[in-house]
Amino acid sequence: MRGDMEIHPAVERLIALMSVEEKIGQLNLLPAGEGLLTGAQQSSSLARRLDRGEVGAIFGTKSLASARAMQERALAGSRLGIPLFFAEDVIHGHRTVFPLNIAMACSWDMRLIERTAAFAASEAAAEGLHQVYGPMIDISRDPRWGRVAEGPGEDALLASRIATAATRGFQGRGLGTPGSVAACLKHFVAYGLPHSGRDYDNVSLAWEDLLETYLPPFAAGVDAGAASVMVAFNAVNKLPMHANAPLIEGWLRGGRGFDGLVVSDYTGVKELVAHGMGGAAVSVARALHAGVDMDMVGEDYLRELPALVGNGLTAPDAGLSFSADCLAELVDRACRRVLTFKARLGLLDDPFRGLKGGRRPSRAKGRRLARIAASRSAVLLKNEGLLPLAADTRIALIGPFANDRANMLGTWAVSGRAEDVVPLNDAIAALTGRAPAVAWGANVVDEPWLEQRLNVHGTTVIRDRRSKAKQLAEAVALARASDVIIAAVGEAKEHAGESSSRLSPDLPLAQRRLIAALARTGKPLLVVVFAGRPLAIGEIAAEADALLYAWHGGVAGPEGVADLIFGAAEPMGRLAVSLPRHPGEVPLTYACDTTGRPGKGRFTKFLTGWLDQPDDVPSFPFGFGLGYTEVRYAAPRLSRGVAEAGQTVELRVRVENTGSRPTVETVQLYASDPVARVTRPGRKLIDFRQVALDPGQRRTVSFRIDADQFSYPVAPSLESAEWVREPGVIRLHVGPNSRDTQMVELTWLT
Rounded Cα gap, residues 267 and 273, in angstroms:
11
Alpha helices in 411-467 (DSSP H): 424-432, 448-455
Backbone angles phi, psi at 163, to 5 degrees: -60, -40
DSSP annotation of 587: S
User: Under a CB-based contact definition with an 8 Å cutoff, are residues 147 and 498 in contact?
Assistant: yes
What span, in angstroms and rounded, lies between the C-alpha atoms of 548 and 85? 42
Residues near 386 by Cβ (< 8 Å), separated by ≥ 6?
484, 524, 526, 545, 546
Query: Do residues 398 and 485 make contact, with C-beta atoms less than 8 angstroms apart?
Result: yes
CA distance 438 to 110: 37
Give the span between the Cα atoms of 587 and 140, in whole angstroms: 9
- On the 0-12 / 13-18 / 19+ scale of CB atoms within 10 A, 707 is buried
Distance CA 692, CA 666 (A): 9
Residue 247's alpha-carbon distances to 206, 289, 554, 722, in angstroms, are 14, 12, 35, 16
CA 143 to chain centroid:
13
- Residue 645 — φ and ψ, nearest 5°? -60, -35
User: Taking a C-beta distance cutoff of 8 angstroms, is the pair 652, 667 a contact?
Assistant: no
* SS3 annotation, 225-241: CCCEEEECCCEECCEEH
**Antiparallel, parallel or unpaired: β 57-59 and 28-31:** parallel
Q: End-to-end alpha-carbon separation of the chain, Å?
A: 34
Q: From CA 686, how far away is CA 677, in angstroms rounded? A: 20
Strand partners, 579: 620
- CA–CA gap between residue 125 and residue 134 (Å, rounded): 14
Residue 5's CB is within 10 A of a number of other CB atoms, namely 14
Instruction: List beta partners, residue 229.
Output: 185, 262
Residues 487, 264: Cα–Cα separation, whole Å = 43
Residues 304 and 274: beta-carbon distance below 8 Å = no
CB atoms within 10 A of CB 599: 11
Chain centroid to Cα 441, Å, comes to: 31
User: How far apart are the C-alpha atoms of 135 and 732, rounded to whole Å?
Assistant: 31
Q: Which is nearest to 706 in space by CA: 749, 645, 747, 661? A: 645
Contact between 105 and 376 under an 8 Å Cβ cutoff? The reply is no
Residues with Cβ within 8 Å of 341's Cβ and at least 6 positions away in sequence, in order, are 85, 182, 227, 228, 260, 261
Q: Quote the CA–CA distance of 389 and 49 in Å, as a whole number.
A: 60
State how far the Cα of 267 lies from the Cα of 265, in Å rounded to an integer.
6
* Torsion sign, CA atoms 563, 567, 568, 573: positive
What is the residue type of 735?
G
CA angle 319, 321, 327 (to 5 degrees): 135
Set 209, 265, 295, 563: catalytic member: 265
SS3 string, 596-662, reads CCCCCCCCHHHCCCCCCCCCCCCCECCCCCECCCCEEECCCEECCCEECCCCCEEEEEEEEECCCCC
Query: What's the DSSP call for residue 246?
Result: I
Q: State yes or no: is 265 an active-site residue.
A: yes
Please, which residues have CB within 8 angstroms of residue 430's CB and are 6 or more apart in sequence?
422, 559, 562
The set of catalytic residues is: 265
